[in-house]
Amino acid sequence: MPPLAARSSRITSKPGHDRESLRPPKRDFFAIDYSDIGRISRWTETRHGGGPGHGGVGVDSTVLRVRMADFHLDIPRSSVRSAARPARSVRGAYGVHGGRGRWLVNGSYNGLVELVIEPPCYTPRQPSTLFLRSKVSSLTISLVDPDGFIAAVEGK
């Protein structure tokens, strides 16, 4: 069998295949703002795989990947109708909360961005949604860089 370098050069030397086309799409990561969350809640988030440095939204050419502790949601870019600062204020809760198609994913009341999603997407069956598939037509997220996120989603 030829060495690995020789095998990989054969794969990429086919017409229409080059190293650039084999790379995954460019992805940006926007961290969730945890500035208002208490020490115990932050520790709990970290124990569940979230917390500062882990929770956020990955933006690539086809999908937005929202992650906060054990909550995961993939939103097709083609379903995002708008991304903007919400007109109404959000108070009273941190974490992941949803109902009637409206969801809140936050660790702070700062840097909020609201996504309007049409057609709606659905959460996967996971512990944070009590293993139910729930409709998501609006998602409000607290981000460290909300303006950068809005620009990335709008393709600017």
Query: Which range (32-41, 70-79, 94-103) has the least confidence?
Result: 32-41
Q: What's the pTM value of the predicted model, to 2 decimals?
A: 0.77
Mean of the per-residue pLDDT values for the chain? 82
Structural domain total, the chain: 1
Do the domain assignments include residue 68? yes
Q: Cα 15 to the chain's mean position, in Å?
A: 35
* Whole-number Cα distances in Å, 51 to 55, 68, 77: 6, 7, 25
Q: β-strands 95-99, 102-106: how paired?
A: antiparallel
Contact in structure between 62 and 76 (CB atoms under 8 Å) = yes
Per the domain annotation, does 102 fall within a domain?
yes
Range of the domain at 106: 26-154
Please state, in angstroms and as integers, the Cα–Cα distance from residue 114 to each residue in 8, 25, 46, 120, 147, following that order: 44, 25, 25, 14, 12
Confirm whether 11 is domain-assigned.
no
Specify the 3-state DSSP secondary structure of 41. Answer: helix
pLDDT digits (tens, 9 = 90+) for 11-63: 444 454 444 444 445 569 999 998 888 777 777 777 766 777 778 999 999 99
Q: Which residue has the higher pLDDT, 87 or 75?
A: 75
Q: How many CB atoms lie within 10 A of CB 17?
A: 12
Let me know: does 139 contact 114? Beta carbons within 8 Å: yes
Would you report the helix, strand and coil content of the chain in percent, each value rounded to 5?
25, 35, 40
* Residue 22: per-residue pLDDT: 43
Give the model confidence (pLDDT) of 130-156 as tens digits: 888 999 999 999 999 999 999 999 985
Q: Is 116 within a domain?
A: yes
- CB count within 10 Å of CB 147 equals 11
pLDDT value for 127? 83
Residue 6 located in a structural domain? no
Tell me which amino acid residue 32 is: I
In a domain, 77, yes or no: yes
